Copies of this chain bind each other. A is one copy, B any other.
């Protein structure tokens, strides 16, 4: 485990609890001390952890922020150039591109466990973090089936459900459900605070009244703006290619709503579609498509198709 923050630290705990041999590395002396004090095996440095992974043909997990990925990959290429490799960074295209460029001989299969909390760092970690979470495991045509199985088994060992996906489908999906949500939250908060009120006789640019009255739905919809801006930026800007089509779709829909509101005064098309989409989401959650798959041979195109239909894989078929 390279990186022992919230995700990496939780993963070390979860995998250890599941009976796996784990060891980690972190750039932070404080984190290393804390993890060792909690009884976990932390190497002196990244190189040491990677050499051991090479010697034992272990699965290396990249659990750093996106900004540190290139640095770590250079060490991977130097120390364990053909290792089994996955990541839990989040956005897939930039990590995949960096792996191809900096550690091209690794047997890399991208991953994204969709779990987190508002906290960060080793102390906030928990072996239970991935329980019942979706864990996307990338299945492209050139994916190594052995390593795909390694990553899926790690996810299952941590209590997660495996959702296979292509790189671009994954990035487009998280662009729509997560990164667009962050962008909308930013804009909603800004519009409220700007108080750009053409009627106001009292000065115009003052959102104190709106912010004072804001509660309930506004509080929930802008909650993610509590996160430090640099983390939101790293996430959203890192998924530029996946976020752009989502923004364009949203702009089209908001423009259509605006036109309808201004001309006929009606918003039925917008609101009905939104309600129906939310009901679809509830239905998928209450009756998820879950199944097992045969261990071999792995059909990568079939895996992508299952993920595309929202299927959660629970393990190997008997």
Interface positions of A (Cβ within 8 A of B): 114, 116, 134, 136, 163, 165-166, 168-170, 172-174, 176-178, 180-203, 206-229, 232-233, 236-237, 240, 243-251, 253-255, 257-258, 261-262, 265-268, 270-278, 280-282, 284, 288, 304-305, 307-312
CB-CB under 8 A for A221 and B221, given A208-B308, A257-B247: yes
Name the B residues within 8 Å of A281 (CB-CB): 189, 192-193, 211, 214, 219, 222
Contact of A196 among B114, B168, B215, B249 (CB under 8 A): B249
Are A251 and B253 neighbours in the complex by a CB distance under 8 Å? no
Q: Which residues of B contact A305 (CB under 8 A)?
A: 202
* Residues of chain B within 8 A of A165, CB atoms compared: 209
A216 to chain B, nearest CB (A): 7
- CB within 8 Å for A251 and B254 given contacts A212-B288, A233-B267, A240-B265: yes
Q: Give the Cβ gap from A59 to chain B, nearest Cβ, in Å.
A: 23
Please indicate the chain B residues that have their CB under 8 angstroms from the CB of A244 in the complex.
258, 261-262
| Residue contact B186 to A180, C-beta cutoff 8 Å | no
Between A and B, 22 residue pairs with Cβ closer than 8 Å are: A114-B215, A163-B209, A163-B213, A168-B197, A168-B200, A170-B209, A177-B214, A182-B217, A185-B221, A186-B270, A186-B275, A188-B250, A190-B270, A193-B280, A203-B308, A221-B221, A225-B274, A225-B278, A229-B272, A232-B271, A243-B261, A251-B251
Assembly CA distance A249 to B192 (angstroms):
10
In-complex Cβ contact of A307 among B183, B209, B280 (8 A): B209
* Closest A-B pairs by Cβ, 10 of them: A186-B274, A208-B310, A193-B277, A212-B310, A225-B278, A189-B277, A168-B199, A173-B210, A177-B214, A202-B308
- Closest Cβ of chain B to A113, distance in Å, is 11
Contacts of A220 in B (CB 8 A): 220-221, 223
Expressed in whole angstroms, the Cα–Cα distance for A262 and B241 within the complex equals: 9
Is the Cβ of A277 less than 8 Å from the Cβ of B212? Answer: no
